[in-house]
Chains A and B, each alone.
Chain A
């Protein structure tokens, strides 16, 4: 297994799309944490984390989302997730994340879910 990891950022309207790619573990989790913190500090509160290119995640990676979710929901935002590979989803499922986070099959469905939230008065 390689250990390459990078975070890609994109914008779709008011939605910040964060795409972690490669292997997310205790070594690489701080890079994702920095990316999310940077987005929040820049005023972003609708974060869609798209996992299409993520091949591996350990609990250190999952812990990153727990660090931010309360604060971002307090300001009316959310972190939603999309495009998880089955082996990555299995780790989320094992820890009960599907009841805490919206996890959508595709990026497009994640964007649509956020659009519903943003459209609410």
Chain B
């Protein structure tokens, strides 16, 4: 069952590619605390890397920040990725052409395909307070 409250951890990093390592370190700390196995941990780290890389490339200026908030619940790890740049909802990005894109050797859209494949639940909200991409990873503890 999902608790209504949980331990929360937060980091704010500049939207610069050299900060991706700090983002991965933060997420790895969260996945370790949550008890995810190595493969699941890698999947969450990679998905957050992809989401933040997309923001750095398409939505944010280098002097803007990305805020990552991790919430630990009983059987869930929730990661919220918040920015204050140009809204972009990755969930609306068409996946129907991923195979076509690959076969024509176009780079775009690969990260979104990865995220959708590896994260259990994804939501996106955009308000005057910012844009937030939320990842839910269910924790299957033995």
Contacts and interface: CB of A to CB of B under 8 A. Distances in A.
Contact of A95 (B18, B49, B102): B102
Contacts of B42: 87, 90
Interface in B7-51: 17-18, 20-21, 24-25, 28, 38-39, 42, 45-46, 49-50
B141 interface: no
Contact of A66 (B45, B53, B56, B106): B106
B53 A58 contact: yes
A58 B42 CA distance: 11
Question: Interface SS of chain B: helix, strand, loop or mixed?
Answer: helix
A23 B39 contact: no
Contacts of B111: 58-60
B84 interface: no
Contact of B50 (A27, A59, A70, A90): A59
A92 to B, nearest CB: 11
B45 A1 contact: yes
Contact of A59 (B24, B28, B99, B114): B114
A69 interface: yes
Contact of B39 (A3, A87, A94): A87
A27 B22 CA distance: 12
Contacts of B50: 58-59
Interface residues of B, number: 30
Interface in B89-132: 98-99, 102-103, 105-107, 110-111, 113-114, 117-118
Contacts of A70: 105
A25 B49 contact: yes
Nearest to B111: A59
Interface of B: 17-18, 20-21, 24-25, 28, 38-39, 42, 45-46, 49-50, 53, 56-57, 98-99, 102-103, 105-107, 110-111, 113-114, 117-118
Interface of A: 1-3, 23, 25-27, 56, 58-60, 62-63, 66-67, 69-70, 87, 90-91, 94-97, 100
20 contacts: A3-B20, A3-B24, A25-B49, A25-B53, A26-B56, A58-B49, A58-B50, A58-B114, A59-B53, A60-B53, A66-B105, A87-B39, A90-B39, A94-B113, A94-B118, A95-B98, A96-B99, A96-B102, A97-B102, A100-B102
Given A58-B53, A69-B105, A96-B102, 10 more contacts: A1-B24, A26-B49, A27-B17, A58-B111, A59-B114, A63-B107, A66-B105, A91-B46, A95-B102, A95-B113
